[in-house]
Structure formats: C-alpha cells, structure tokens
Structure 1
C-alpha cells in the first residue's frame, strides 16, 4: 500500500497537532468515498467531552459556547472505528450499521490484503487459500 503523508492543518483545543487524514486512502479506496464517521444526537449529548478528548484522530472540535463536541473532521475517522460511540455514556453517537462497513471490506478485498500483510509476520496460516480469498458475499468453503 502506498504511504501517504497527511499534512498538519493546525492544533486542537488541547494543543495536539491535527492532520488532514482525509487524504489517506483506506485500503486503496479514497477516504471521502466511505461515509464512515460519527453523528451526534445533541438532544441526548451531555457534553461530557469523552469523545473529544479520547479520539486519537482529532475528528472532534469543542464548541465552548454550547459546551458540546462538534464533528469537525469526519473523514479523519478511522473506517470501522466506533470507540467514541462505545464509550459515550449517553449513547449520543451513531455510526452506519455494521453491514455498511462489511460491504466496503468485501469491495476493497480488505481481508485478502490484511492476510497478505499478516502472513509476513505469522509463522503459519491456519486458513486455506479459499478461506483467505472469500468475501462476505460468498458462501463459506465447505470443510471435509
């Protein structure tokens, strides 16, 4: 996979550098083609800030007047990550359904690419070539 250097576009409210990760493809797919990012339900958001301070990809900014997080850099969100939603004490953060990301995994042949990377550091694969190259849209290979 090509290594794309993301430019620093500033600092967040905590003084951490903010990179524009939207320029970094996800498994060969342009990041902005994949609508995977958090959406906040402000009717139930308590404004605790956990999402803002824990997101390592600087997806959120902080609106100090409203006392709430703002999804400022949606395409900085790591495709498949939903940590902020998992730790939100109010369940105020939503992501697309699991099936959405599975379609992108299949379309990008991500499983095969990941196995190729991991196989370089793994002693022996416990999976057959058929299992490695299968996609979620196919029936699993028959054992026997």
Structure 2
C-alpha cells in the first residue's frame, strides 16, 4: 500500500494539472449559465479539484438533475451533509437551520464527474447533458 501511495505521489503534479484543465473547461461553460453557480478560485487559492461541485437553484432541481444524469449513466455525488444532520448528532437534538449557509450549500450542490482520466468526449457529453436538462 505504501509503495502504491509513493508511486502516486510522484505523479501528483501531472494529476493536478489534468484536473485543473478539466475544471477550466467546466468553468468556461458554466460561468455563462445563470442556472448554475460555480465555486470560483480566488487569487489566494490553488484548487487541486478533488471534486467539481456546482450549485443549482434549489434541492428539488438538484434531485431532478441528479436523476436525469443518472439515466444518462453520468454518476454524480452530493457533498457534504452538515455534520449536525448526521444521525449521531440528531440524538443530541441539533436542529435544522443551525448553519444556514452549510445547509444551503448541501441542498443545492451536486458534484459532477472530475477525475484524471476523464476524456474530452465524456466531458463534452456531461456538459451537453447538463445544458439539455437546464433548457
């Protein structure tokens, strides 16, 4: 396991460079779409794009988009449930609304495919599918 990890670390710059190239294409498309909010990197940050999250208008639209993409075999994820909404914390009587910004992010966020081997063809299909859904 350590040998695999060490070999992957040797390639980290290449992996990050490719992920940033993929993110740049997503950014160029989605920053023009009013129904999609992207998370912008500011000048004091360097994003390695472990994920590519986008935000849509509300939870209902996010769920519909999630299911639409799933029908097209585009697997997405939703990140991250606010900690106090996990079952353990429910027992401690933490109430919904404790962190409205975290809840808003969770309700509207969907992470679209982002991985080193994502081809331009597949990325274009993902983009096209999201744009079709938003029409």
What TM-score does the superposition give when structure 2 sets the normalisation length? 0.29
Larger of the two Rg values belongs to structure: 1
What TM-score does the superposition give when structure 1 sets the normalisation length? 0.28
Structure with a larger share of its residues in strand:
1
Structure with a larger share of its residues in helix:
2
